[in-house]
């Protein structure tokens, strides 16, 4: 079962070799062995008590000749900040929301169910999607504890979609859904050796996702292959009347049509050199990847740096503070009255009252700063948002692509996993996610190689709604390099690999 792709699972179910219920049970056994016991990856915060019943129903449909599509009967894990109106809770990993049952499915969860996916469970995450403290430890939540990196168990899985990435990497599901505001799909995907797609803002509905900031938040697929990620993405898209960012346009129900093995031939790819230089071992891997890309017929424009990347950080955080308060207050106000918190202010007070359980390692400094902000009509917010879009779009990605006539831009996705450190918190990932995240543009990370047994990835990003191009390039690169290797659940980095 390890490393089975979605297409392989479908072929086996179609032939009668296995059915969805048996597939679900195999994954449940593997979760028990690896996530709950053994190396205790701790990637899944809650299992769906109805998963087996759902799979039985889907098996009956298949037996009657009704197959919904490529996700029919396929087990998927979704992040615990994504609403499901079933017997699972949605808590963002916080004890403040423990027991909260969403009033309805997130829009794209409904789409996944309609496509035949079985929601196997919820993934652990960095609490509140890593927007509680700048001193946080990624992959830790007060409700779920610490998620472990399956390549070296004492290493951090990166966040905030930590559990989603680890569950995919360790073959605990066929694929997963994460969310990103800036780096929360790309970093955990690359750090755990999988493919992650951060879509264009609005390609996937934001309805039913516990928010950080509506100007950057998006959900996206995480999988072991570009093909599986493309299958998931197509099922997640759709026009949601409750999310005005989704609209008819460059949206496809099937992104597998863009999987071309010769997809790099004749394209112009810019190399964003301003994201190199944080780790020479990573740089060496990426240089090899660039050679592989050239060997597939692509023309590299090197360098093709993106301007203003350092200037964005301050105004980005300003926007996030304003939108976090506004958006979270709206989300919390619609929860059942049995939930103890219905505003950011109440979350802060709850955390203070339960400090020993919720804040044993780090505080809630970002929440406190967000609470100080006023309404979204304030000039400080509007100016920061305008600056973000101008620097990341008009003078950033769009300007670079126009100047060099590019099809896409590539850069290292980040550095290898750092040690879990409750004293100092995260030490940073050296990532390249911010321009695409702030712009609301697509970004795909693909496994690129290993540094002392720890995965690193290569990112492809470009203009809004350029997912078809990026998927084509990412797939061709993946097929040429074949860098993914499954984890071995080592207790630490293997010293022998450092010789």
**Where are the alpha helices (H) located in 218-279, listed in sequence order?**
226-236
20, 55, 79, 413: the active-site residue = 79
Mean pLDDT, consecutive 10-residue segments, the chain of 499 residues? 95 98 98 97 98 98 98 98 98 98 97 98 98 98 98 97 98 98 98 98 98 98 99 97 90 97 98 97 98 98 95 96 98 96 98 98 98 98 98 98 98 97 90 98 98 98 98 99 98 69
153-176 tens-digit pLDDT: 999 999 999 999 999 999 999 999
Check: CB of residue 203 under 8 Å from CB of residue 465.
Answer: yes
Helix (H, G, I), strand (E, B) or coil at 6: helix
Question: Can you tell me the distance from the alpha carbon of 242 to that of 3, in angstroms, rounded to the nearest whole number?
Answer: 37
Instruction: Please answer whether residues 284 and 451 qualify as being in contact, where contact means their C-beta atoms are separated by less than 8 angstroms.
Output: no
Query: Tokens 């360790």 appear where?
Result: 170
From residue 432, give the alpha-carbon distance in Å to each of 435, 475, 479: 7, 20, 23
In degrees, rounded to 5, the angle at the alpha carbon of residue 195 between the alpha carbons of residues 194 and 200 is: 150
Q: Of 55, 161, 184, 207, which one is the catalytic site residue?
A: 184
Residue 173 CA: distances (Å) to CA of 122, 170, 384: 11, 8, 40
Indicate if the alpha-carbon torsion angle 44, 46, 52, 58 is positive or negative: negative
- Per-residue model confidence as pLDDT tens digits over 209-240: 999 999 999 999 999 999 999 999 999 999 99
Return the number of other C-beta atoms located less than 10 Å from residue 166's C-beta: 34
pLDDT at 182: 98
Assess whether 184 carries a catalytic annotation.
yes
**Biggest alpha carbon distance in the chain?**
62
Q: Are 42 and 156 in contact (CB under 8 A)?
A: no
Distance CA 71, CA 493 (A): 36
DSSP helix/strand/coil, 497: helix
Domains of the chain as residue ranges with CATH: 6-498 (3.90.1300.10)
Closest to 245 in 3D by CA, of 274, 209, 294: 209
Helix (H) or strand (E) holding 187: helix 186-191
pLDDT for the residue 250: 85
| Spatial separation of the C-alpha atoms in residues 154 and 417, rounded to whole Å | 10
Q: Which of 160, 429, 433, 434 is catalytic?
A: 160
| Alpha-carbon 296 to chain mean position | 28
Query: Reduced to 3 states, what is the DSSP secondary structure of residue 18?
Result: coil
The first and second tokens of residue 346, run together, are 């109440």
What's the confidence (pLDDT) of residue 495?
64
Please give the structure tokens belonging to residue 191. Answer: 């750090």
State how far the Cα of 304 lies from the Cα of 145, in Å rounded to an integer. 41
Please confirm, yes or no, whether 43 is among the known catalytic residues.
no
Q: Is 333 a catalytic residue?
A: no
Q: What is the distance in angstroms between the CA of the first residue and the CA of the last residue of the chain? A: 33
pLDDT score, position 499: 36
Ramachandran angles phi, psi of 45, nearest 5°: -85, -25
Coarse DSSP helix, strand, coil percentages of the chain, rounded to the nearest 5 percent: 40, 15, 45
- What distance in Å separates the CA atoms of residue 148 and residue 140, rounded to the nearest whole number? 9
Cα 235 to chain centroid, rounded: 16
pTM, entire model: 0.98
């Amino acid at each position: 079962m390890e490393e089975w792709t979605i297409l392989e699972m479908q072929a086996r179910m179609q032939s009668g070799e296995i059915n969805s219920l048996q597939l679900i049970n195999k994954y449940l056994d593997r979760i028990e062995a690896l996530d709950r016991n053994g190396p205790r990856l701790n990637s899944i915060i809650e299992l769906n008590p109805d998963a087996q019943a759902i799979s039985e129903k889907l098996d009956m449909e298949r037996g009657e000749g009704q197959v919904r599509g490529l996700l029919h009967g396929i087990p998927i894990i979704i992040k615990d900040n994504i609403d499901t109106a079933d017997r699972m809770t949605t808590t963002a990993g916080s004890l403040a929301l423990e027991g909260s049952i969403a009033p309805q499915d997130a829009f794209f969860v409904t789409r996944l169910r309609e496509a035949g996916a079985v929601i196997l469970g919820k993934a652990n995450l960095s609490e509140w999607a890593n927007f509680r403290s700048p001193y946080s430890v990624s992959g830790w939540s007060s409700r779920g504890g610490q998620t472990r990196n399956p390549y070296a168990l004492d290493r951090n899985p990166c966040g905030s979609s930590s559990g989603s990435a680890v569950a995919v990497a360790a073959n605990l599901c066929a694929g997963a859904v994460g969310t990103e505001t800036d780096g929360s799909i790309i970093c955990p995907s690359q750090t755990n050796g999988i493919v992650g797609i951060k879509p264009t803002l609005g390609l996937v509905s934001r309805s039913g996702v516990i928010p950080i900031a509506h100007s950057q938040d998006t959900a996206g697929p995480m999988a072991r292959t570009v093909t599986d990620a493309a299958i998931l993405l197509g099922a997640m898209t759709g026009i949601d009347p409750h999310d005005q960012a989704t609209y008819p346009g460059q949206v496809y129900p099937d992104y597998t049509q863009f999987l071309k093995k010769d997809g790099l031939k004749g394209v112009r790819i810019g190399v964003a050199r301003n994201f190199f230089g944080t780790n020479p071992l990573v740089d060496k891997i990426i240089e090899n990847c660039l050679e592989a890309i050239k060997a597939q017929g692509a023309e590299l424009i090197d360098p093709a740096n993106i301007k203003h990347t350092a200037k964005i950080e301050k105004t980005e955080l300003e926007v996030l503070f304003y939108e976090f308060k506004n958006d979270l207050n709206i989300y919390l106000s619609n929860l059942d009255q049995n939930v103890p918190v219905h505003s950011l202010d109440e979350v802060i007070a709850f955390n203070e009252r339960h400090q020993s359980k919720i804040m044993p390692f780090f505080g809630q400094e970002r929440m406190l700063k967000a609470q100080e902000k006023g309404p979204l009509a304030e000039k400080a917010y509007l100016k920061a948002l305008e600056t973000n879009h101008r620097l990341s779009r008009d003078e950033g990605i769009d300007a670079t692509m126009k100047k060099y006539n590019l099809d896409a831009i590539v850069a290292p996705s980040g550095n290898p996993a750092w040690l879990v450190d409750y004293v100092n918190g995260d030490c940073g990932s050296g990532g390249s996610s911010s321009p695409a995240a702030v712009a609301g543009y697509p970004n795909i990370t693909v496994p690129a190689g290993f540094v002392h047994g720890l995965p690193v990835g290569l990112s492809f990003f470009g203009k809004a709604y350029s997912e078809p191009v990026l998927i084509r390039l990412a797939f061709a690169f993946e097929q040429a390099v074949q860098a993914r290797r499954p984890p071995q659940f080592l207790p630490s980095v293997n010293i022998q690999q450092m010789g």
